[in-house]
Amino acid sequence: MKELRHFLEPRDLKLQEYEELFELVDKIMANPKDYSEIARGKILAALFFEPSTRTRLSFESAMLKLGGSVIGFSEASSSSTAKGESIEDTTRMASIYGDIIAMRHPEAYSPCKASKVSTIPVINAGDGGHQHPTQTLADLITIRAKFNRLNNLKIGFCGDLKFGRTVHSLAQAFSEYENNSFVFISPKELKMPDYVKQELEQKDMPYIETDNLEDAIADLDIIYMTRVQKERFEDADEYERLKDFYILDGEKMSKAKDECIVLHPLPRVNEISCEVDSDPRAWYFKQAEYGMYGRMALIIKLLQLDCDKVLRLKYYELEGV
């Protein structure tokens, strides 16, 4: 019987498995047609209880590009959650209809709860202010594409580090590689949670905290901007006060390294001014594209689809069999 695997946080995959995914991404990007039938007959259940553009569309297009199909919903109000159904029951249903689940939910640990009752793989597509491991996959693929390595890099996370789940996940994954260091740039109200910092301390990973982007920027290989997460604030005035705390513009970019890259999980609000988009160091749109390929590779892995078959078919085709 096939082993049931979930992807709830970055550490659910070993470094070797990330390497395999990166290699698969390279192959898919080089020859997308070779993989266009590999998931034929398989169904992705996209259970999105919270708004999303990139993550949902990227999961959907990833599955369609592999030849599979997609079912699901894009807001809780159009599912039975609106009638009071539990996460567990919705998951049981999705396990009957689908082959793999991608779940986004406003509450932390919901995909984890789902995984306890699911008979098919569950992917966390973002749970509250907690984790977002497939965004991390996109981030790692992008960083690797630029630097050809995932070690010996200095990454600055800037913005809402308290509620921004993407930075929690990326810090966890990035600290698995040697000699990386972190600069956490945020107002004091939006600092990186203690549990993330404690994990870094346990691994002897150096980090510093500051509220000053201008001072920190010159040293960074990766400038990772984040949106202030309006939907997680209890106090609307506090959001208004903090929302434009950092705006990365051309002037600040003039202090950054020539070889750095700017990442952002998107959507952006004001935190990167549009003038930066034409800077060759702005990699955030490429990052979204890599995310789709990363999700294709992840679906292939978790569904344990037969990649050798792709090669066999290609061989037969070449041989005219």
Binding site for L-aspartate: residue ranges?
Answer: 83, 165, 227
Q: Give yes or no for a contact between 66 and 44, defined as CB atoms under 8 angstroms apart.
A: no
Instruction: Please give the Cα distance from 71 to 3 (Å, whole number).
Output: 24
Quick one: 38 or 282, whose CB is closer to ligand NCD?
282
Which 3 state secondary structure label does DSSP give 71? strand
Q: Of these, 113, 146, 165, 301, which contacts ligand NCD (CB under 6 A)? A: 165
Phi, psi of 222 (to 5 degrees): -130, 125
Quick one: 65 or 104, whose CB is closer to ligand NCD?
104
Q: How far is CA 259 from CA 89, 255, 297, in A?
A: 49, 12, 28
Quick one: 38 or 112, whose CB is closer to ligand NCD?
112
Angle formed by the axes of helices 133-147 and 284-302, nearest 10°: 120
Instruction: Give me the least distance between CB of 135 and ligand NCD, in Å please.
Output: 5
Q: Of these, 79, 90, 131, 135, which contacts ligand NCD (CB under 6 A)? A: 135
Binding flag, residue 131, ligand NCD (CB under 6 A): no
Binding flag, residue 301, ligand NCD (CB under 6 A): no
Instruction: Give me the least distance between CB of 91 and ligand NCD, in Å please.
Output: 20
Q: Give yes or no for a contact between 128 and 151, defined as CB atoms under 8 angstroms apart.
A: no
Binding flag, residue 230, ligand NCD (CB under 6 A): no
Quick one: 217 or 263, whose CB is closer to ligand NCD?
263
- Residue 224 β-bridge partners: 157, 263
Quick one: 54 or 281, whose CB is closer to ligand NCD?
54
Angle formed by the axes of helices 133-147 and 15-30, nearest 10°: 70
Closest CA to 106 of 132, 127, 81, 123: 127
Phi, psi of 293 (to 5 degrees): -65, -35
Instruction: Please give the Cα distance from 245 to 211 (Å, whole number).
Output: 9
Quick one: 208 or 269, whose CB is closer to ligand NCD?
269
* Footprint on residues 42-71 left by ligand NCD (CB under 6 A): 54-55
Quick one: 27 or 54, whose CB is closer to ligand NCD?
54
Q: How many CB atoms lie within 10 A of CB 189?
A: 15
Instruction: Give me the least distance between CB of 74 and ligand NCD, in Å please.
Output: 13
Instruction: Give me the least distance between CB of 229 and ligand NCD, in Å please.
Output: 6
Task: Provide the annotated binding site for carbamoyl phosphate.
Answer: 54-55, 104, 132, 135, 266-267
Task: Provide the annotated binding site.
Answer: 54-55, 83, 104, 132, 135, 165, 227, 266-267
* Footprint on residues 263-292 left by ligand NCD (CB under 6 A): 265-266
Closest CA to 151 of 201, 203, 101, 221: 221
Q: Of these, 132, 168, 252, 295, which contacts ligand NCD (CB under 6 A)? A: 132
Closest CA to 19 of 144, 127, 131: 144
Close Cβ partners of 299 (under 8 Å, ≥ 6 residues apart): 39, 44, 62, 63, 66, 68, 100, 305
The number of residues that bind ligand NCD (CB under 6 A) is 10
Instruction: Give me the least distance between CB of 130 and ligand NCD, in Å please.
Output: 10
Binding flag, residue 126, ligand NCD (CB under 6 A): yes
List interacting residues with ligand NCD (CB under 6 A).
Answer: 54-55, 126, 132, 135, 165-166, 227, 265-266
